[in-house]
Structure 1
């Protein structure tokens, strides 16, 4: 059976299953099992509810489920097709668990599938091409997966969105999984970028820590909030995972902006031979520490620091030195009379915002010359409000997007 027909069959059966569920819910009194005792009745009712929630697909043999999802995963290598993989994970709980086991991380397969993929490191060999669309009227920035709007068209997949919020002494870029909800109390909120008054220093805050022992949480205030006032998921904590600094250009010398990114959540050993970068496998539920205690994997309360300014500091650094990214040095083109970088055709418009980042490595560190010259993140302009963003290991899409957002903020002292 062709793959499209198979997926269409899944959809038809899913619709029929949902219709049956709706009828069963409306006529629940007709399917309630008869029992002599209350305990047997409650257990039978719970068993029936579980069957209703799982549906008919949960009764398939695990070997058959595994074979079906393996075939779907092997065929769908680009985003429009990978919607079928996500659809398989939405059929029932059994399908979801098997799909999560089969789908590899972007570092291993080079594809983005689930939302958590945006927090995981990119592939090692080839970068993931994306582009950013800027909307000046609403001060929003949207990250799409694809080469460009002209090539991707309607097949572009929205990955992340950010909204610029100006404050008296700083500027915030609130980053969300959706393009129309930028509230920190929303489940779509995943982090933010905050600048200083001059726009020369930035802090990247993540809604969840990559490693509980490396970063410290920061809360909005010490004010106690009752559990009845907190929604189901309220990300009231932010974790300072990276710092971005732009070099001041007081003498107004010619040349592109010079920047440096210190990734507190990524050790320098990640780019060494055999090194690994932190890879979260699921989103954590962030609840207010006063209303609901934060419990670790062993049931222990996590230590969470709190201050009134919302600018968290690192409790401990990563094991060893953190990864530091710097600008790749451009060369001066005599004929064009400008500074040039080889973007391999991904950038077509000259702009002071364009940059390429490579690892800043000390001679004592065990990093090969190939890794030192490898471009980890590149960002450049291709239209009036269209920019390309290509990232790779060890950065994630969220981290790369936050770094690129720092280039959009005004910097009068760096031009």
Structure 2
């Protein structure tokens, strides 16, 4: 990996204000040190109700899309999203998932990401695209939407572990001619589902692995050059430096409904094994991310610091597959 990795500042509505002059996020941050959360609990002062992120305008450029997808959510803020699954006709086995950023106060929505489950793959494999709205020169005030590949999510054969990567070259495979100008892929995270060896029906158990942020809240890039350097390999060998380990919050059994329940504060309205909330073991009240069903093919996704939009969408995608070894 490079000695001075690129870092992504936090995501705010001001990120999409008109740019004047040089972008301060391009400064050298090679002296930033990562914070490992395993030994020390770091508590952040935050309001009871976090401030909701507002996307003030459509995504108009590659830079806009990159900022939206890769910047971690700002401290004390929440990004609220909805995901709609399309699986009619020929797409029943290979659904398309569209993610919209929504503003709860105004119901304004922006379609920003799309994930497509790939055919001809022996394992679950999703490609994630971002939407860029280019001005239609022939129709003033109208936009033409173009897709740009951002990343992928791929599982092992059993569907018990998933790796999350940005769009780029695989370090151990021959370079695809379509990727010849791309850098080595960035590792965004990994998701593990605990196997259910007893065969009892019950909630899934998830472990989410990401890299820690720098001390000033930026997310560095990590581009492993071999399998030995990946998050999954390090986690299995207990090499936990610069690694953030999150888990899904354990639901409580409700005698009245005879079901396991979590408090989603109205954002999730239907029971589903796919519903989950992500927390750190040192602060179970701070919900890093939550995801759940509100209708047959309609889901909500909310996330906060320290993860970014692409990570949140990728983690949500891992929940859609049936996992025979885990349920």
Report if TM-score (shorter chain) is over 0.5: yes
- Residue deviations 1:182-219, cap 9 Å, x none? xxxx98111100011111110001237xxxxxxxx624
2:217 corresponds to which of 273, 276, 293: 276
Tell me the equivalent position of 2:161.
201
> What CA distance in whole angstroms lies between the structure 1 residues aligned with 2:326 and 2:272?
14
Aligned equivalent of 2:34: none
Taking the aligned partners of 1:331 and 1:319, their CA distance within structure 2 comes to: 30
2:174 pairs, out of 222, 225, 240, with 222
CA distance in 2, matches of 1:196, 1:169: 9
| Aligned mates of 2:165, 2:296 — CA distance in 1 | 29
The structure with the largest strand share of the pair is 2
Residue 383 and residue 100 in structure 1: after superposition, are their counterparts in 2 closer, same or farther (change >3 A)? farther
Mark the runs of 5 or more structure 2 residues left unpaired by the alignment: 1-11, 26-49, 57-63, 133-145
For residue 387 of structure 1, what is the aligned residue in structure 2?
Answer: 299
Aligned to 1:266: 212
Which residue is equivalent to 2:84? 133
Q: What are the within-5 Å matches in structure 2 for residues 56-95 of structure 1? A: 89=18
Higher relative contact order (CA 8 A, sep 6+): 2
Structure 1 residues 349 and 304: alpha-carbon distance in aligned structure 2, compared to 1, 3 A threshold: closer
Partner of 1:37: none
* Two-structure CA RMSD over aligned residues (Å): 3.8
Higher Rg = 1
Where in structure 1 do 4 or more consecutive aligned residues deviate above 4 Å?
Answer: 98-102, 315-319
Tell me, yes or no, if the aligned pair for 2:128 and 2:151 is still in contact at 8 Å: yes
| Contact kept in structure 2, 1:203 and 1:244, CA below 8 Å | yes
* 1:400 is aligned to 2:323: no
Q: Is the 2:209–2:244 Cα contact (8 Å) retained in structure 1?
A: yes
Aligned to 2:197: 250
Go from structure 1 to structure 2 and tell me whether the alpha carbon gap of 1:325 and 1:356 turns closer, same or farther (over 3 Å shift): same
Q: Which residue of 2 aligns with 1:97?
A: 20
Q: CA deviation at 1:146?
A: 1.1
Query: In the aligned structure 1, how far is the partner of 2:111 from the partner of 2:249?
Result: 29
Measure, in 2, the Cα distance between the counterparts of 1:339 and 1:234: 49
- Tell me the CA shift for residue 372 of structure 1: 4.2
Give the aligned partner of residue 33 of structure 2: none
In structure 2, what is the equivalent of residue 353 of structure 1?
274
Shift of the 168–401 alpha-carbon distance from structure 1 to 2, 3 Å rule, reads closer
Q: Could you tell me which of 103, 106, 122 is aligned with 2:73?
A: 122
Q: Is the partner of 1:324 in helix, strand or coil?
A: strand
Change (3 A) 1:224 1:327: closer
Aligned pair in 2 of structure 1 residues 109, 391: CA closer, same or farther (>3 Å)?
Answer: closer
Give the superposition deviation at 1:108. Answer: 10
**CA shift digits 1:215-238 (9 cap, x unpaired):** xx624733696xxxx68x844642
Q: How many residues in Structure 1 have an aligned counterpart in Structure 2?
A: 261
Kept in 1: contact 2:53–2:80 (CA 8 A): no
CA distance 1:166–1:324, change in 2 (3 Å): farther
In 2, the alpha carbon distance for the partners of 1:109 and 1:340 equals 25
Q: More helix by proportion, 1 or 2?
A: 1
Mapped contact 1:147–1:388 kept (Cα < 8 A): no
> What is the alpha-carbon distance in structure 2 between the residues aligned to residue 170 and residue 236 of structure 1?
25
Contact 2:82 2:298 in 1 (8 A): yes
Note closer, same or farther for the CA distance 1:197–1:167 as it changes in structure 2 (3 Å cut).
Answer: farther
Q: TM-score, normalised by structure 1?
A: 0.54
Indicate the larger mover: 245-254 or 352-361: 245-254
Contact 2:52/2:78 (<8 A) preserved: no
**3-state DSSP of counterpart to 1:156:** strand
Compute the displacement of 1:130 (Å).
Answer: 0.5
Task: Classify the secondary structure of the residue corresponding to 1:405.
Answer: helix
Instruction: Tell me the TM-score normalized by structure 2.
Output: 0.68
- CA-to-aligned-CA distance 1:43-66 (integer Å, 9 cap, x gap): xxxxxxxxxxxxxxxxxxxxxxxx
